[in-house]
A and B are shown apart, each in its own frame.
Chain A
Amino acid sequence: MLNTALNSFGAQVLFATSSDENYPPERMIDGNMETFWLSTGIFPQEFIIRFPDNMKISVISIHSFNIKRLRIEQSTNEEAEDFKVMAEKEFEQTEGSLQTNEISLDCSNATHLRFLILSGYDHFVSVHKVGIQA
């Protein structure tokens, strides 16, 4: 499940704070590592993924570059509101390769997931793939 594309079962990127038309946020959930979403400056950056149903999430995997601090929030609402912090993590800096991180969660339910990139190792960060495990 971690390797399948999120959009294959109906997940959507509801919101993203950066938008380069060449690197749209959908690229994070198309299951392809080569395509990515690129932030366009200034922190914090943020994006929200919506699932078609209430999902039970145990692990979130993120392939990214130059992210320093990431906070993940969840919402069980129909609308994208009332987010609660699930986890916050500082990533290692990498050079010449992507950051690969898996965040374990305590099997909480979520309809929306909010990813807050609080800071980066550079002015611009990229997210290549987001996967979840139920």
Chain B
Amino acid sequence: MANQRPLSGRPMSRSSLIPGTARPPTGIRPPQTAIRVGTGVVPSTGRPGTRAGPIATPGVLSAQIKVTDRPVTQQGLSGMKTGGKGPQRQILDKSYYLGLLRSKINELTTENSKLQKEIDIFNQENSVYLSYEKRAESLAGEIKDLQGHLADYNMLVDKLNTNTEMDEVMNEISMLKVQNDREAQSIDAIFTERREKEDLIHAIEEETEREKQAADDIVKKMPVEKQAKYAEMKAVNEELLQELAARQDELDTLMARKETLDAELEHSQVKQEAMVLYERLHELELRRDALQAEDKSKISPQEERECLLKQVKEDNQEIASMERQLTETREKISRLTEELRQLDKDMEDHQGERTQKYKELQKKEEEIDAYLETFDTNRAQEMEHIRETQASIVALLEQSSRMMNRMNQLSAISPHELKSMQEDLSFKETEMQKSQSTANGLSSECERLQQDLLNVERLEGKVQSEMNSLKEKILQMTEGLKTYRDLDALKASGEHKVKMLQEERVSLIERRDAFKKINHKMNKEYETVAAQLQENETHAQLTNLERKWQHLEQNNFVMKEFIASKSLESDYRPVKKNVIKQLSEYNKILMDALQGTKN
């Protein structure tokens, strides 16, 4: 921009080269500020100033310049807006910058006023805040009270929840009351004590006052010189006291400062180090000062040398005396140690023998004691042992005698043979057991196999029958195959059958319909005839009569039945028959008997 301006003086080339792209970046900026101003406090004053400048003069200028670029009509049509925007960037002369500055100034003033307002608001808020704080305090107090109440209530609820008995609560209350009373009493006591103390203080104060007065009196009674001197001293005293107070204050401040510094030091290592160094420096300075002082109070070297020599002599003497004393004491020590050794030897010689003997005797005594104590039990044990051994001996003897007898019996067989035989026997026994178990196993196996055999036989029968049936089936199937092989014939016959059946179906359906019709007709006929019959009076009469007759016949039948059953009950004929039969039999028997006696 700065380079372009001196060249052309106008952004002609720019606008002509890139009018579209050049416009937006600058074009956007002014409106932004304008909007900001608008939100400000004084928009009306800010805007016209900025606008009036550029619009009035450059409006004409732009028209002259833009003859090549744009038609005048276009600008004239778009009016103020385009006119205002265009020239603002186009002509950067004095008035333009003036306008710019003015606008900036305006902005600053508005900003200032805004800040002022904010400050006012802050102040107000601050005062409000103070009042709020006060209120908060009062409210906090209230809250505390209420919290106390709440605690009380909570306790009460607790009691209620834990089902505390009324008595307990009462007890507690009484206890608390007592405590309360006690504390009140103690407070009272403290209060009275305090009173006393105050009284005492008063008394002492009074006394001091009196003493002061007495002192004043004494001072007054003193002569004038002394009085003056006193006054002077008093003044000095007061001065010193003041100074003391001041120094004290200074000290306090210094101490405080030191503390803060220390605290600071603690936090930084470098400072600590510095302090250490400083301290060393301080030390060194002190030494330097001392050395300087020494240097200042220097004596001549001669004197000093003499002095030193003197001192050396003295020292040497002292050393010599010390050495002498040392040797003396060493000798003494060696002598005494010698003596001590000798004494020890003597002691050992005497005491060694005796103690050994004594110890031996003591041991013996212990042994004897132990023996005596265990003698009885030992004896009993031994006796027992002896008895056991005797018993075992007897038993062994018996066994041996028995064995001897047996040996006599078995004398024929040599022991060797016997042994071999015994081995044989045991071996054979185990063999036998094995064989028995195998025999058992075999018999069970045999049973199982026989069962299996039976099963197999049964199965064989089944299989045979099945086979027969299967053979029959095969025959049937082969026959079937023969017929089914000739598919065409089968098909033909099937089709033929289907055809026949369909024909039959048709004819049968027709016949069914015919039947239905005829049946229907006949039913109608029947119904008409039946109706006629029903209408016929004679028929009705006849049926009535018939019913009556039927009833009579029924009665008749019942009576007949009754008679028949009764007559059967009173039928004497079977009885008569029976009697006659029996009679004739009896006669026969009689006759036989008579003939028998005759013969």
Contacts and interface: CB of A to CB of B under 8 A. Distances in A.
Interface string B515-545: 1011001000000000000000000000000
A48 interface: yes
Nearest to A112: B514
Contacts, number: 21
A30 to B, nearest CB: 12
B510 to A, nearest CB: 6
Nearest to A46: B518
A81 B504 CA distance: 24
A48 B521 contact: no
Interface string B478-517: 0000000000000000000000000010010011001101
B517 A79 contact: yes
A26 B507 contact: yes
B511 to A, nearest CB: 6
Contact of B521 (A12, A13, A16, A81): A81
B507 A12 contact: yes
Interface in A34-86: 48, 79-81
A15 B513 CA distance: 9
A39 to B, nearest CB: 16
A24 B503 CA distance: 13
A14 interface: yes
Contacts of B515: 15
Contacts of A15: 511, 514-515, 518
A14 B511 contact: yes
Q: Which of A12, A15, A16, A81 has the most CB of B within 10 A?
A: A15
Interface residues of A, number: 11
A16 B517 contact: no
A15 B512 CA distance: 8
B521 A14 contact: no
Nearest to A24: B504
Contacts of A14: 510-511, 514
Contacts of A13: 507, 511
B525 to A, nearest CB: 12
Interface string A101-134: 0000000000000000000000000000000000
B514 A80 contact: yes
Interface residues of B, number: 9
B507 A80 contact: no
Nearest to B511: A15
A13 B503 CA distance: 13
Interface string A1-16: 0000000000011111
A95 B515 CA distance: 34
Contact of B514 (A24, A26, A48): A48
Nearest to B513: A14
A82 to B, nearest CB: 11
A80 B511 contact: no
Contact of B511 (A16, A79, A81): A16
Contacts of B518: 15, 80
A115 B26 CA distance: 126
B353 to A, nearest CB: 158
A48 B513 CA distance: 13
Contacts of B517: 79-81
Nearest to A26: B507
A81 to B, nearest CB: 7
Contacts of A48: 514
Contacts of B511: 13-16
A95 B521 CA distance: 38
Contacts of A80: 514, 517-518
Contacts of B521: 81
Nearest to A7: B507
Q: Which of B507, B510, B511, B517 has the most CB of A within 10 A?
A: B511
Interface in B297-340: none
Contacts of B514: 14-15, 48, 80
A113 B511 CA distance: 15
Contacts of A26: 507
A13 B518 CA distance: 14
A16 B521 CA distance: 16
B502 to A, nearest CB: 14
A3 to B, nearest CB: 23
A80 B515 CA distance: 10
Contacts of A24: 504
A15 B514 CA distance: 6
Contacts of A81: 517, 521
Contacts of B510: 12, 14
A14 B506 CA distance: 11
A81 B521 CA distance: 9
Q: Which of B510, B514, B517 has the most CB of A within 10 A?
A: B514
A18 B357 CA distance: 160
A16 B512 CA distance: 10
A124 B514 CA distance: 24
A38 to B, nearest CB: 16
B311 to A, nearest CB: 174
A16 to B, nearest CB: 7
Nearest to A16: B511
Contacts of A16: 511
A52 to B, nearest CB: 13
A130 B515 CA distance: 21
Contacts of A79: 517
Contacts of B504: 24
A91 to B, nearest CB: 25
A62 to B, nearest CB: 21
A15 B517 CA distance: 11
Nearest to B512: A15
A81 B518 CA distance: 8
A13 B510 CA distance: 9
Q: Which of A14, A16, A48, A80 has the most CB of B within 10 A?
A: A14
A20 to B, nearest CB: 14
21 contacts: A12-B507, A12-B510, A13-B507, A13-B511, A14-B510, A14-B511, A14-B514, A15-B511, A15-B514, A15-B515, A15-B518, A16-B511, A24-B504, A26-B507, A48-B514, A79-B517, A80-B514, A80-B517, A80-B518, A81-B517, A81-B521
Interface of A: 12-16, 24, 26, 48, 79-81
The 4 closest A-B pairs by CB, nearest first: A15-B514, A14-B514, A80-B514, A15-B511
Given A12-B510, A81-B521, 19 more contacts: A12-B507, A13-B507, A13-B511, A14-B510, A14-B511, A14-B514, A15-B511, A15-B514, A15-B515, A15-B518, A16-B511, A24-B504, A26-B507, A48-B514, A79-B517, A80-B514, A80-B517, A80-B518, A81-B517
